[in-house]
Amino acid sequence: MKRRNTVTIVAAALLVVLLTGSVLARQRVEGLRGKEATLEEILYVPSGEALKRMSLGYSSLLADIYWTRAVQYFGSHFDQNSTRYDLLAPLLDITTDLDPHLIVAYETGSIFLSQSVPAGAGEPEKAVALLEKGIRENPQYWHLYFTLGFVHYIDRKDYKAAQKAFDTGSKLPGAHVWMKVMAARMAERGGDISTAIALWQHILDSNTDKAIRENATMHLASLHADADIEALERVVHIYFDSTHSLPREWSDLIHRGILRGVPLDPTGVPYKLTPDGTVTVQDLSKFKFLGEFRSNRN
């Protein structure tokens, strides 16, 4: 009995000492391998389809592992302020080949891809391709359209494409009302004022939510004012062409028969004619988004 106790004590002591030793040895291994230990910059099996067959039906589990690898790859490169994310797009492609319904890989992965370096891979085109793949595989998932619109808007500055994405997504069952709001915003950004007005009007008419209606009203007021101001500045230009001087008051234009009366903004207050011939509103606080449409278009 005493001998067994001695063996137990020796074995326990050895276990502790050797485990500590193995941790130290492993740290030495990690130190030697350096960056290689994080994720090798080689994909030995670059085809998701091949991996899917090799996974013997456990492709969903393998997709989770690949998604984790993609996140870790991005995280480690991000921490190092890396300017290259060469494996990110292939890793995401393999992940979504293995599990085409892994929505998070499309949504978050596309944001990783689209953000400019060093915050992301600076590859918005690949992000769009990934999201379009996601939409093909999950056509009823409106969130993907939202992310697609976001990428088009923020990183590609393609307002028309963004508007199309938001608009298409907003028509899917369960889509958040803000999809319509965003579509209208993109129309403003894209320079298409009539589409913007129509979309904002639709949001106003189809929503009962107070905050959304107020927001839509504010956008519509600003958009209508923008359209009016553009038209009024053209009229001022016509006056200048015929008189070679700028009008001081609206009455100058009315007397020459160019305007029928003093123009009123959507709140019923007369527009303000400035000495340099530009037109604006009296109370800017009521037109929060005034000029946004015109400045974005320019």
Contact status, residue 32 vs residue 26, Cβ threshold 8 Å: no
Closer residue to other proteins in complex, CB, 35/288:
35
In the 8-state DSSP scheme, what is residue 279?
E
Q: What is the nearest approach in angstroms of other proteins to the Cβ of residue 60?
A: 16
Contact status, residue 112 vs residue 121, Cβ threshold 8 Å: yes
Q: What is the nearest approach in angstroms of other proteins to the Cβ of residue 23?
A: 5
Closer residue to other proteins in complex, CB, 11/284:
11
Closer residue to other proteins in complex, CB, 34/173:
34
Q: What is the nearest approach in angstroms of other proteins to the Cβ of residue 290?
A: 45
Q: What is the nearest approach in angstroms of other proteins to the Cβ of residue 65?
A: 7
How distant, in Å, are the alpha carbons of 25, 72, 207, 217, 284 from that of 288?
64, 42, 21, 11, 7
Closer residue to other proteins in complex, CB, 69/213:
69
Q: Which tokens go with 237?
A: 């230009």
Residue with tokens 């890989």: 105
User: Which residues contact other proteins (rule: CB under 8 A)?
Assistant: 3-4, 7-8, 11-12, 14-15, 18-19, 21-23, 25-26, 28-30, 32-33, 37-40, 42, 44, 65, 68-69, 72, 75-76
Closer residue to other proteins in complex, CB, 7/56:
7
Closer residue to other proteins in complex, CB, 11/104:
11
Q: What is the nearest approach in angstroms of other proteins to the Cβ of residue 4?
A: 6
Alpha carbon distance, N-terminus to C-terminus of the chain: 92
Contact status, residue 163 vs residue 183, Cβ threshold 8 Å: yes
270 phi, psi to nearest 5 deg: -60, 145
Q: What is the nearest approach in angstroms of other proteins to the Cβ of residue 79?
A: 9
Residues 6+ apart with CB under 8 A from 163: 149, 183, 186, 187, 189, 190, 192, 195
Q: Which tokens go with 66?
A: 């690949």
